[in-house]
């Protein structure tokens, strides 16, 4: 027979588990609300004539480490030169 929750080891804290679950659920709701807000800002930027794809690229670049970005750019430039693609 399956072990009943009341028979769980003494270290198992039912209320603590419930608290964790409820906190995660609240955070998930907040995350969705923030994602919706970000989507609205992108829509507003697009309505004002900005290129959303370019904005996303800039956001990605700003998150990167400057040295890693320079190294990556140098490699891309090298590959482009090797392929005869000039930037």
Q: Is 66 part of a structural domain of the chain?
A: yes
Q: Is 4 part of a structural domain of the chain?
A: no
SS3 63: helix
Q: Is 7 part of a structural domain of the chain?
A: no
Look up the pTM and report it: 0.66
Residue recorded with tokens 């090298």: 78
The domain in which residue 25 lies consists of 13-83
Examine the pLDDT at 7 and tell me if it is beyond 60.
no
Q: In the chain, how many domains are there?
A: 1
Cα separation, 55 vs 45, in Å, equals 9
* pLDDT tens per residue, range 28-82: 999 999 999 999 999 999 999 999 999 999 999 999 999 999 999 999 999 999 9
Q: Is 21 part of a structural domain of the chain?
A: yes
């Amino acid at each position: 027979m399956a072990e009943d929750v009341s028979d769980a080891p003494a270290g198992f804290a039912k209320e603590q588990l419930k608290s964790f679950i409820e906190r995660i659920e609240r955070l998930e709701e907040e995350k969705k609300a923030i994602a919706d807000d970000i989507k609205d800002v992108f829509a507003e930027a697009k309505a004002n004539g900005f290129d959303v794809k370019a904005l996303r690229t800039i956001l990605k670049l700003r998150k990167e480490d400057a040295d890693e970005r320079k190294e990556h750019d140098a490699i891309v430039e090298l590959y482009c030169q090797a392929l005869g693609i000039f930037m």
